[in-house]
Amino acid sequence: MDIQIRGVQKHYGSFHALRGIDLDIASGELLALLGPSGSGKTTLLRAIAGLEPLDGGQVRFGDIDATALTVQQRQVGFVFQQYALFKHMTVFDNIAFGLTVRPKKQRPDTATINKRVRELLELVQLGGLEQRYPAQLSGGQKQRVALARALAIEPRVLLLDEPFGALDAKVRKDLRRWLRQLHRETGYTTIFVTHDQEEALELADRVVVMNRGVIEQVGTTDQVWDAPATPFVYDFLGTPNVLPARVERGALLLNGATATLATAGAEPEGPVNVYTRPNELRIADDGDAAALSGTVVEIQRTGLLLRLGVQLLSSGDTIEIELPNPDPAVQRWQLGDAIRVRPARYSLFPRKATTAEVETGFDPTRTVAEHRERSRN
């Protein structure tokens, strides 16, 4: 079932948790709500389920106005972060719960319920555990029971709140793959909340990046990774280098006038921040006029990657560059080596000019670290 969200507002006292959210979710889609804590992602999920009354806006399931429905009527499968399994019931009774509480007329007979629960147990690969109590299950098994319980009511949409948050890394990885496969088999429209960018990118068809109650970007995993729409998305998906620069007459001036890069053309004139990821920086030739000169101040080798800290001569900032671990015969970097780098890929975002910059054309007071701090807050 497709879902339309229009202008959804939610306040908790003076805290504005959702600031007018608009979102369309296609039928059968696997969508991730990604964001830091306090970004409103869980609130949005609960709003879709009807667990949070809204202050404004509308949620529609296909042609139905879900805002007018109660939690029970919405018929959504909600999987809670801590699973919320009923401790005093067996796995079987937990999964059957949604069927046994139906009004007498709509309630399937015992044989049908038995059959359905057994099918679901097979689906979540827990056959034979129906008489166990939740306390006797591992975290991953509890998660799957919670999922089976939500699927039992044949939900219009499946909602998962931090589905892998409470599991260890190995189980998480297995469950992720399994959930992807389950989604392919069952085809339920599925929305899950996560703060883990890797999880969102690996699992979802589309990712919704949220921050402070607004949607920063919606797109396929490729779109949000390759073309982050805002500094926040850039920062949240990885740790970019932020370089203060200016755009003048269509040319990008990096660090005063020491380096010039061709801009994509559409950027506004004036002060900007250049966002570039460590793996998007390249070692430059000596003749490259657009390169930034610096000194190697940190060397870190992690498996296939070589990570260098480079202190720029122009500003004194240290930026990070990530290279595929090179052939030792080609180049061995030592601390203190001179190095020239240039961004192969980057994005520009407008920046407020400081007074110092207005006077001198360059702002030496702001470091990369400060930029990160500010854009995160």
Partner 1 sequence: MSGTVDVSPGQRERLPFEPLKQTNSVINEPPYVRWLLIATAVGFLALFLLLPLLSVFVEALRKGFGPYFESFADPETLAAIQLTVLAAAIAVPLNLVFGLCAAWAITKFEFRGKQFLITLIDLPFSVSPVVAGLIFVLIFGAQGWAQPFVGDHVGKVLFATPGIVLATVFVTFPFIARELIPLMQEQGTEDEQAALSLGATGWQTFTRVTLPNIKWALLYGVLLCNARAMGEFGAVSVVSGHIRGLTNTMPLHIEILYNEYQFVSAFAVASLLALLALVTLALKSFLEWRYADQLAATRRH
Q: How many residues bind partner 1 (CB under 8 A)?
A: 31
CB of 152 to partner 1, least distance (A): 8
Cβ-based nearer residue to partner 1, 70 or 334: 70
Binding mask 222-261 toward partner 1 (x if CB under 8 A, else -) reads ----------------------------------------
Q: Which of 23, 15, 20 is nearest to 214 (CA)?
A: 20
DSSP state at residue 68: G
CB 92 within 8 A of CB 131: yes
DSSP state at residue 105: G
38 CB-contact burial (10 Å; exposed 0-12 / middle 13-18 / buried 19+)? middle
Question: In DSSP terms, which residues pair with 156 in a beta bridge?
Answer: none
CA 25 to chain centre: 16
- In angstroms, the CA 272 to CA 208 distance is 26
Instruction: Report helix, strand and coil shares of the chain as percent, to nearest 5.
Output: 30, 30, 35
Selected from 150, 208, 254, 272, the binder of partner 1 by CB under 8 A is 150
Judged by CB under 8 A, does residue 98 bind partner 1? Answer: yes
Selected from 33, 44, 49, 291, the binder of partner 1 by CB under 8 A is 49
CB of 343 to partner 1, least distance (A): 47
Cβ-based nearer residue to partner 1, 137 or 339: 137
Judged by CB under 8 A, does residue 202 bind partner 1? Answer: no
Cβ-based nearer residue to partner 1, 76 or 208: 76
Selected from 149, 277, 340, 342, the binder of partner 1 by CB under 8 A is 149
Judged by CB under 8 A, does residue 349 bind partner 1? Answer: no
Interface positions, 102-141, toward partner 1 (CB under 8 A):
102, 133, 135-136
- In angstroms, the CA 152 to CA 68 distance is 24
